[in-house]
Amino acid sequence: MAKTTKEQSGSDSRAIAIELSAALVAVHDEAPKILLVRDQGGDSATHSQFGLPCGPFDPVAHRTLEEGLRTWVGEQSGIQLGYAEQLYTFGDRFRDPQERKGGPRPVSVGYLALVRQTDLRSPENADWSDWYRHFPWEDWRSGPPAIVSQVIGSELKAWADAPDNRADRARRRERIDTTFGLGDMAWDNERVLERYELLYEAGLIAETVTDGRERANPGLVQAHTLTGAVLIKDHRRIMATAMGRLRAKIKYRPVIFELMPPNFTLYQLQRAAEALAGARLHKQNFRRLVANEGLVEATGQISSQTGGRPAELFRFRRDVVRERPASGVRLSVRVKPKK
């Protein structure tokens, strides 16, 4: 063959490799889950063995990018994807440490996919991991997470005070306030990626180190273990993108039903919404909203698994997609815990 070993191993600096990667999201036991697969050999740089299901795009076998993605996910997890949407294409230099060793430039097309509770098996070499294990600062369901006030807050302040230039310090402080909802700013649950990137720049998560960036604050070695479980390569960034997109999307499209079983109580639905949003919702208003939008219809069946008064089971009204294309679960996020 004309192909040289050099090219096959991808050490041609002009080489590009397109990878397809998927953030598979499900909700189980009131917790949002993401599917991780064990990487063969692991990524010595991040000390992580887990990453998102992914594989190279094959222009011969794959008619579309999405088809390729479905194939890889099926192969690696045994799951036949339902809902999937393209998220973002990641192409920054050195996304993958392998590139420094002469590997090809890795360009990754990331997808968000939603998996129904009922399709939730744990396949070989794959596991459903709690979202918030990787982003502990994103879960505000029982008030401001401890990690924000205890670790992130003070360490970010140190980072903000580091520059010699007064204006730079002000800019950093401002950015911290907006992304983390400090001062008189409100916490915006959609800014997942911005928060991740801020922590990255501030050197508060493990990826900063493994990517060979200068650490802002050298005293933080174990802080990494506090700031969430790491994935290989930049997969945690992809995950942050997926999370932000999903939190935004459930507000204006009825995608949350892609995660629910066929029949559910309104409270189960609310729990799922809360799990994704990372915040509590007002129960009565939530059900009024869902009802008024015509998103669900009663089945007549009753569930007595609730622990209190039995609840009626509902199902998603597929018609709404037709009737009111732009409906979703607009949630008024309440950040303060119930007293």
The residue written with tokens 């730079």 in the block is 168
Hey, is 168 helix, strand or coil? helix
Residue 148 binds DNA, judged by CB under 7 A: no
- By a kind-dependent CB cut-off of 5 to 8 A, residue 191 interacts, out of DNA, its own copies, none, with its own copies
The residue written with tokens 């799922």 in the block is 272
Residues between 101 and 120 that touch its own copies (CB under 8 A): 104-105, 107, 109
Q: Which amino acid would we find at residue 117?
A: Q
- By a kind-dependent CB cut-off of 5 to 8 A, residue 221 interacts, out of its own copies, DNA, none, with none
| Residue 31 β-bridge partners | 28
Q: Which of 29, 40, 41, 63 binds its own copies (CB under 8 A)?
A: 63
Binding span for DNA by CB under 7 A among 91-99, 108-116, 153-161, 283-291: 283-291
Q: Which of 288, 318, 319, 337 binds DNA (CB under 7 A)?
A: 288
- Contact flags string 290-309 toward DNA, x per CB under 7 A: --x-----------x-xxxx
Residues between 184 and 213 that touch its own copies (CB under 8 A): 185, 188, 190-191
Closest approach of DNA to the CB of residue 54, in Å: 38
> β-strand 263-264 against 311-316: which pairing, if any?
antiparallel
Neighbours of 302 (CB within 10 A): 12
- C-alpha span between 294 and 288 (Å, rounded): 10
Residue 174 binds its own copies, judged by CB under 8 A: yes
Closest approach of its own copies to the CB of residue 70, in Å: 13
b/e 50-84 (16+ beta carbons within 10 angstroms → b): bbbbbbebeeeebeeebebbbbbbeebbebebeeb
Q: Which two tokens stand for residue 306?
A: 């609730």
Residue 265 binds DNA, judged by CB under 7 A: yes
Binding span for its own copies by CB under 8 A among 5-13, 207-215, 261-269, 280-288: 5-13
The answer to whether 192 and 244 have CB atoms below 8 angstroms apart is: yes
- C-alpha span between 228 and 260 (Å, rounded): 27
Residue 282 binds DNA, judged by CB under 7 A: yes
# binding residues, DNA (CB under 7 A) = 22
CB of 134 or CB of 280, closer to DNA: 280
Closest approach of its own copies to the CB of residue 309, in Å: 37
> β-strand 296-303 against 54-56: which pairing, if any?
unpaired
SS3 percent helix, strand, coil of the chain, rounded to 5, is: 40, 20, 40
CB of 226 or CB of 335, closer to DNA: 335
CB of 41 or CB of 308, closer to DNA: 308
DSSP-assigned letter for residue 132 = H
Cα 7-8-13 angle, rounded to 5 deg: 40
- By a kind-dependent CB cut-off of 5 to 8 A, residue 188 interacts, out of DNA, its own copies, none, with its own copies
Q: Which of 9, 16, 80, 142 binds its own copies (CB under 8 A)?
A: 16
Footprint on this chain of DNA (rule: CB under 7 A) = 265-267, 282-285, 287-289, 292, 304, 306-312, 330, 332, 334
